[in-house]
Every structure is written in structure tokens, then in C-alpha cells.
Structure 1
Amino acid sequence: MRPIAVALAGLAVLAASACTAPTPPRPAAVSPPPSGPATLPAPTGDRPVGTTVLHLKDTSRPDPWNLDAEARELKVTLWYPTEQREGRRAPYMSPKESELMLKKLGSAAVPPDTLSRTGTNAVADAAPTGRGLPLVVLSPGFTKPVSTLTSLAEDLASRGYVVAGVDHPYESYATTLADGTVAECLACDSDADPGFGTGVVLGRAADVSFVLDRLPSEWDGAGVLDRSRTAMVGQSIGGAGAVASMLRDPRIRAGIDMDGTTYARIPKSGFSRPFLFLGTPQHVPGGRDPSWERDWKLLSGWKRWIVLTGAEHQSFTDGPLLQGSLGVTPAYGTLPAQRAAELTRTYVAAFLDRHLKGQRQPILDEPSSRHPEARFCPSACGAS
């Protein structure tokens, strides 16, 4: 197999690893040579976007993966509204992070800093602006940094949200720590162990609660927040982490699981806070992953279960948007990259606008002719 095709196969494996029921791979398709660094689509809101990075250290517990670390260190990337339209755009990831990610994807055909040269829309370290802004915690899939959700984060910030993207060190191929070292994926050595998924989501719930505890004192811009309006959105095992975090922490008022098999068990008495399942056809009733059908019965409050026709696991990330810069065409899914990003942004924002801003959102009440890919379960979708 040519190196560039190997990179694509690696992307597919990354999308499905240890976080959702596996999807049989399709043959990789090789496209023309790489087109140069990608640029993420512009946010759809009316506000410019700023971003900054915090490093938080929880000395109350050891790191669950690095036995030599006496404390759990977290990297938190913040996206938020700003008045600053001009300035240096934040890097998508560092050159070293890009090198490690591409190495794990098996690519020797593109420059190792390719992902670090991806164009973003947020101004680095711009001053936040606004008052009473809702907070959205964002958690990525296993092996992936939170930067792979940048397109969604920038869009939410442009719509008036503060987004706190949490990197969970040693669960990703590359996370830069406060001292500049890059933590690699130690958890990857344990992902076949019994109970692995349950352990990961419980650890992520602890990470998220710590971030909510410390953000007001550690971020100089925290005065723009309304902490009574907090939600969590996660992709893959990050989505499973949203369930676990909400069960642990009552400060999280609403949550979204984007295509993640769930692990934390909901009490038989039920769970009443608003929740959205947004996923691929493998999550339809009777599909390959039964966890949503199990949990749906225990969600006693506002809830929706939406699957996107043609979507695959990485459709909710930046992965499809970046594949052209790697010189490959998607081997998974028939939903075009730009359309996948549009649908993800639309339904995530509609849910948050409804439950954190109190705005009516008709597209959450019934199928829309503008979004025919979105099927409402359990009644209006069948097994794939």
C-alpha cells in the first residue's frame, strides 16, 4: 500500500478506536497529491473568536496513566468571543504534536508539520468580551487532541459561547504539557483491558469537574462567564464522558454525545437533564451499538436521538476537513466533509441555544427539509 493510503487507513483506525462499536473498513482511495495545508471553514456566528491555553494541575490525585506523575495535569484550550478581528491566528497544533500524530497515522508522504500549518480562525490570546456567556466543555475522542474539534469550538464561540476544550494527557497521541514536554498515549497500552472504557470516562468526569472548579480563578477572562449555564459536548469516548460527567456533577445542565458508545450506567430511577445523542447509522435501534437504546429508556427529561445518513465516526471532527491536506479521499462515509461540519455545527448549536439560552429551535422538534440527512430516532429510523 502506498504511504499516503496508509495514512488514510490510520485515520480510519483512529476514528474507531476504543470508543465506539467498530465499523468494517472500506478500501482506501488515493486522491491527487496533497493540496497544501488545509484551512478550517469560517465560523457562522457574528462575533470574532479569540483563543488561549491554560495548564491546570490537580494535586489531589495522581495521574491515572503516568505512574511517575504525582498530580494530574490538564491542558485546557479556551475559545470565546472577542472584539479583536486582526492578529496572529492560533496554531491548530504544535509542530511536534503534528509530527507525532502523523507518525501514528503511518504517513511518511507529507511534511511532519502539515497539521501544525492548518489554518484556524481564532486570534491567539485576544481579550474576551461579553457578559453572562454560557460555558461549553468539550472532550475529544480517545487518542485525539481536542484540537480535532476546533471547527466546532470556533463556531460556538462566534455564536456567543465560551468553549473549554479539555486535553486529557496520556489518552492522546500528543498533548503538550506546561513545561513544553509532549505527553504521548500511555493509555493506548491498556485499551484492550476489561473495563477500560468505564475507567476512562470516570477519569474524564474527574478531569471535567476539576476544570469547572478551577476555571474561575485560573482564567483572567472568567468574568465573562455565567457558570450557571454550563453544558458538555463530547465526541466518541468524550461523548461517553459527557454522560459520566453529568452523573457526577450537577453543574452541567445539558449534554451531547457525538457518536460515542456509553459506559457510565444511568440509575434505574432515570436521569432528567437534557441530552442529545448525535451519531452515525450504527447507533440506530437494533444497530451495531446497543448502548444508546439502553440509555434512551432511562433519560426521563428532554431528549433527542438523531443519526446522520452517510456519516461515519469521524464526521463530527475536523478529520474529513483535513484529509485533502494529506492527499487522500475519505475511505469512510458518503457525507461530504463541509456538509458534515455544517450539520454538526447546526444541531449542536441548536441544542445549546435551546437549553442554555432558552431559544426555541424547531429543527430539534421534527425532521427538516433543509437537513434531510438528519433522522429522528427511535421512531423515524431503522436498522442500518
Structure 2
Amino acid sequence: MRMLEIAVVAVDAVVLLLTVFRVPSRWWQAASGMSSMRRWLRAEPVLLAVLLLTLLVHLVVEQHRFVMIPAYAVTVILACALLMCWFRQVRRAAVDIPRRKRPALRVLGRITAITAGVLALAVSSAAGVLLPVFDLPSPSGPYAVGYTEEHLTDSSRQEWTTPDENDLREVEFSIWYPTEATTQGRPLALDRRLAKSAALSASDLTGSSRARGALENLFDYFRLIDTHAVRGGEVVQVPGGFPVIFYSPGAGSGRFDNTSLMVDLASQGYVVVAVDHPYTSGAPVSLSSGRQVDRGPRDPSATEANWLDRASRSVSTNSADLSFILDHLTALNADPGNPFHHRFNLDSVGAMGFSLGGASAEQALADDPRFDAGINVDGTHFGTVRDTGVPTPSLNILSTDHVADISKARKGEQDQDEGSIEDARFQEQFHDRSTGPTWAATIEDTNHFSHDLFSFVVPALNGNTVQPQTEETIRALVSDFFNHTLRGQEPRLLGHDSAVPRRVHFLPDPARPDVQ
């Protein structure tokens, strides 16, 4: 919880106790026998002023968020109660109205007020601790970072996921790019669409799609988190342009789920293009028709085989999305009237992705020779790439949980579902059949969601309470790989176990993670 949120809850709790139990009693009774200079101030206006001032300062300085609504409700109810009490006392003093004595009702009312108030404050406090307003790590590179986004329709491809034969494939994508430190622009907060994809991921974990709307409201505070980028700003011009890296999100994830990594890469002199793929991304994609679509809820009736087939087809479609956008960037780079004219080095293009997006990035390496290197972050090797491998350098970052599952499936140590068995087989085939150099690495004590911003959102629930160190390690590993493969620099980390700051272990045999 933030400092002023704690102050709001603490003041609410103190005022609640003082109001219900009316202590100290001397404060609540005007000392009529004393001179006016020595009389105590009435309790009601003092408590009302403290209550409302604390809330006002919090709203102005920190701004509101959804999880604090129960505490705000307590504040409002207490303020109303204090005003009513103050009004009755003033009226009673003026008219000399006798106090009605109903001790049983008074005791019941006090118990009810304390119970309801404490419960509401506990809910806000617990939610505030479980869903902290986190700070993203600062970018490590020398450049400031600018941001823009675009929407494209590919007239050459039909949308296969819908029954309408007239639907064409559409994509939305963001571009993070290097800009000058003196650039003036509107600070860019985490995008509201990240709240939607994070809510979808959380609903997957809870197994309840009905909770998605409530979770979106819980994540409304993303608007308060600075990404260390600005909207707009002129693209820095350097000889030859900047290398380009594409990012593809996982199924149910969105292009903003790894914003911190995107901004860091841009600060190091890369143009980063993050793509939302309609019907697989969790963030809503606005179509030209005005509709918004995302992955939607999982089909509980789908079999493992059907899901694998659909995932492989999605990977091929997503790969084509990346190639289509690369065509668009090529046109922008050649257009003298475009701000990105001669800003891209299209001889050095990489692709990376998380989960299903990692497989999409690998598929792009196999499908399009313009892609020079790629990273699969904890994804299964779906698509035809599992049979062909890739002809270019590739890095496979696996969670320790993922390695353990593959090892168990290979050894037959316990009953494994079809997906785990296929995952182990795909891992072996991909690395054995790739003609380009491949690496596989793990970061200690990580799970699937350790590799995106979801671990920042709910660190206590997913067990990753050291996410800033994990994020720093991922940044170092990703930038070292692309610096080597796209810029020709000598690698500092690639292929060597190290701690940056968390321990990174490179698997001796990427095709067989259980072989150490």
C-alpha cells in the first residue's frame, strides 16, 4: 500500500473507534463550567476535518484506485455520522431536547458499526497489499524512449477464425523507439489494455471467466505507473538506422505485458515493435468495423489434440502478421515524408515472444529470411518449426517449472497429459533439427508468469516476490543475445552460467533439459 492509503485506513480506524465509543468522554462534552478560552473543541468538527483532509490529500497526491473503495465508503459514512451528531448536539443545546435512552439499540448499533467498518478497512488493506502500485525498473540504456502505435489491415489474407468470408486479417502494434533525452512529450503510463489482458490471465489462474470484469477494475491503478517512456518525440537518426526487434505476446497476453522490457531495449538503441494478434491476444484489438476482439474465454470442451492443432495454426498466422508488419516498416523506412525514414536497420531484424508468442517468433525465423535471430520465452515449439527447426540463432528461455515438467515427461516419472509429452518431444525435435546455433537457459526459481509484468501485479499470489531482480536478469540476457546476433558484439552472458543478479544456467543439451 502507498503511504497516504495507509494514512486513510489508519485515520478511518481511529475515527471509527472514537466515534463509536465516544472516548475520551471529556472531549465529547463541552466543559460549560470553564471559560470559553479553556473549553475543549467539539470532537465532531475536529474529527471531520482530519477525516476529510486525509482523504483529499490522498486523492490529489496519489489518486484513487478501485481497491480503496471500501475505505472511501467508511470515510463517507463516518463523515455523515459526525455531521449528524454535530447537528443534533447543536440543536439539543439550543432547544434543550432531552436525550432518548435506548441502551440495547445503542449497543447493537455500536457492534454493527465496528464490525462493518473493520471488515471494510480490512478488505481495502488486504487488496492494497496483494495488488501493490509497483514501480517499473528504469531503462538501462543511454536513450530516452518514444512511443507510437498503428493499426493495419492485410487485404491479402482472410481472417480464418471467423465465419465471415469478407473478414480480412487486421493487426494492432506499438512501436517503442530511441529519442533524445531532451524530448518533450506526455509521460506514458501503463496502458489500460494491459489491465484487460492481466485480468484474462488472472481469470485463467482462478478458473473463473466471470471474475474478469471485477479483475479489470482491480487493475485500474495501472494508469498510475510510469513506463519511463513518452508519447511521441522525434526518432533519433544514426548512420544505418537502429536494429528492429518484434515482440509477439502469448495466448491471452497482450503487447503491453512486457512493457518494461520493450522500453529497456529501446533505450539501448533498438526499435521494438510489439504486436497484438486478434483472437489470441488478451488485450482488446480494435477492428476497422468498430468491434473489439480478444482471445475470449477458453473452450472447456476442446480436446488436447484440437487445442494443439489450433495453437499451431495460430502460430503460423501470427508469423505472417510479423512479416506483414515488416513489409510496412520497409515502406516507412523508404518514405522521405515519414518520421521513420531511414531510422530502421532492416538488415538486422530479430523476433521474440512469450509463451505462444515465443513459438510465433520462431516460426517467423523459419518462414521469413529477413528475420535474423529470435528468442522463445518459456513457450512450447508449436507450428511447423518443431519439425524443421530454424536456420538462424535462437535462444530458448525456460522457467525452472517448465524444465521440470519436460524432464518428468521424458523420464515417465509420473502420469503426464498429452500436452506435456508433446512439449518434451517438440523441445527435442526443434533443437536437434535447427541448423542455426541454439541455446537454452533457465533463471533460478521461476515459473511461467515470472517472465512478464504479471509477477509485478500479484507477486504474493504467484510466488515470485523478487520480480525486480528477475526482470533485471531477463533484460540482461535478452539484450546480450541481440547485441551479439544483430550487432555482432562479443557475448558477455550467452552460453555461460552467471548471476545478473539472479542465477542463469545454460543447459548443456537444449534438446534434452533433463541432461545436466
TM-score for both structures, normalised by structure 2: 0.62
**1:338 and 2:468 matched:** yes
Structure 1, 154-163 or 298-307: larger mean CA deviation = 298-307
**1:304 and 2:439 matched:** yes
**1:75 and 2:172 matched:** yes
**Corresponding pairs, count:** 351
Aligned to 1:217: 331
Q: Which ranges of structure 2 fall in alignment gaps of 5 or more residues?
A: 1-66, 68-125, 204-210, 333-337, 410-422
**1:204 and 2:318 matched:** yes
**1:376 and 2:473 matched:** no
Residues 36-93 of structure 1: CA deviation (Å, up to 9, x unaligned): 5333211111110001001111011122323346211111100010014443122422
Aligned to 2:246: 137
- Structure 1 residues 368 and 185 mapped into 2: Cα distance closer, same or farther (>3 Å)? closer
- Structure 1 residues 370 and 167 mapped into 2: Cα distance closer, same or farther (>3 Å)? closer
Aligned to 1:115: 222
**Bigger radius of gyration:** 2
**1:64 and 2:155 matched:** no
Residues 187-213 of structure 1: CA deviation (Å, up to 9, x unaligned): 844965241111110111111110111
- Structure 1 residues 273 and 75 mapped into 2: Cα distance closer, same or farther (>3 Å)? same
- Structure 1 residues 135 and 97 mapped into 2: Cα distance closer, same or farther (>3 Å)? closer
Equivalents in 2 of 1:267, 1:292: separation in Å? 8
Equivalents in 2 of 1:55, 1:187: separation in Å? 24
**1:54 and 2:150 matched:** yes
Q: Secondary structure at the match of 1:33?
A: helix
Task: Tell me the CA shift for residue 214 of structure 1.
Answer: 1.1
Q: Secondary structure at the match of 1:362?
A: coil
Give the residue type in structure 1 aligned to 2:359.
A
Contact 1:62 1:71 survives alignment (8 Å): yes
Equivalents in 1 of 2:389, 2:282: separation in Å? 36
Between Structure 1 and Structure 2, the one with more helix by share is 2
- Structure 1 residues 378 and 37 mapped into 2: Cα distance closer, same or farther (>3 Å)? same
Aligned to 1:126: 233
Q: Secondary structure at the match of 1:55?
A: strand
Aligned to 2:398: 279
Contact 1:309 1:335 survives alignment (8 Å): no
Identity of aligned residues (%): 27
Contact 2:455 2:462 survives alignment (8 Å): no
**1:354 and 2:474 matched:** no
TM-score for both structures, normalised by structure 1: 0.82
Residues 282-325 of structure 1: CA deviation (Å, up to 9, x unaligned): 236625541323311112322211011201111111111222xx
Alignment of 1:1-384 (within 5 A): 33=129, 37-68=133-164, 70-83=167-180, 84-94=182-192, 98=195, 101-102=198-199, 105=203, 106=211, 108=214, 111=218, 113-131=220-238, 132-177=241-286, 181-186=291-296, 188-189=298-299, 192=303, 193-194=306-307, 195-218=309-332, 220-266=339-385, 271-281=390-400, 282-283=402-403, 286-288=407-409, 289-290=423-424, 291-323=426-458, 329-332=460-463, 334=464, 336-371=466-501, 373-379=503-509, 382=514
Give the residue type in structure 2 aligned to 1:125.
G
Q: Name which structure has the greater RCO, CA cutoff 8 Å, separation 6+.
A: 1
Q: Secondary structure at the match of 1:307?
A: strand
Contact 1:259 1:280 survives alignment (8 Å): yes
Contact 1:215 1:222 survives alignment (8 Å): no
Equivalents in 2 of 1:208, 1:222: separation in Å? 20
Equivalents in 2 of 1:205, 1:185: separation in Å? 17
Two-structure CA RMSD over aligned residues (Å):
2.9
Equivalents in 2 of 1:77, 1:171: separation in Å? 17
Q: Secondary structure at the match of 2:228?
A: coil
Give the residue type in structure 1 aligned to 2:470.
A
